[in-house]
Amino acid sequence: MTSPTPASDGASIFRIDRFVVPTEALPAFMERLRFTQQTLDTLSGCKQNLVLKQEDSPGESRIITLVEWSDAEAITAAKATMLAKYTEEGFDPAAFIRELGVQADMGVYRSA
């Protein structure tokens, strides 16, 4: 996750990640994604947590995740929680994505 800049107006902060996933990697990718989604759903400040799938060209799928957080503190705490879980289980998200051949575009957004 990218570290957010604290919001001064108390508006929601959105973490939006876009992935292009090879068909053969989709089951493993979705299993890990569901684990992450279920964990985030339990955290304070998580207002909305969506996983969306678009069938694309043959051989790949596009996955978008959108998580709405109540404020900067909530997203910062979520990042710390996920890093601790990954460290505990020896999971390297960047290596996982690379090994599966997934293309990723991840970022934090605010209302314009």
**Any domain includes 7:** no
**Any domain includes 6:** no
pTM for the model: 0.85
Cβ atoms of 101 and 24 within 8 Å: the answer is no
**Any domain includes 93:** yes
φ/ψ of 24, rounded to 5, equals: -65, -20
Q: E strands of the chain, at which residues?
A: 13-22, 46-55, 60-69, 103-110
**Any domain includes 2:** no
Please give the residue range of the domain that contains residue 19: 13-110
pLDDT at residue 12 is higher than 70: yes
**Any domain includes 55:** yes
**Any domain includes 99:** yes
Looking at residues 37-48, what average pLDDT do you find?
Answer: 96
Domain total of the chain: 1
CATH number for 60: 3.30.70.100
Cβ atoms within 10 A of the Cβ of 55, count? Answer: 9
Residue 10's pLDDT is 66
**Any domain includes 18:** yes
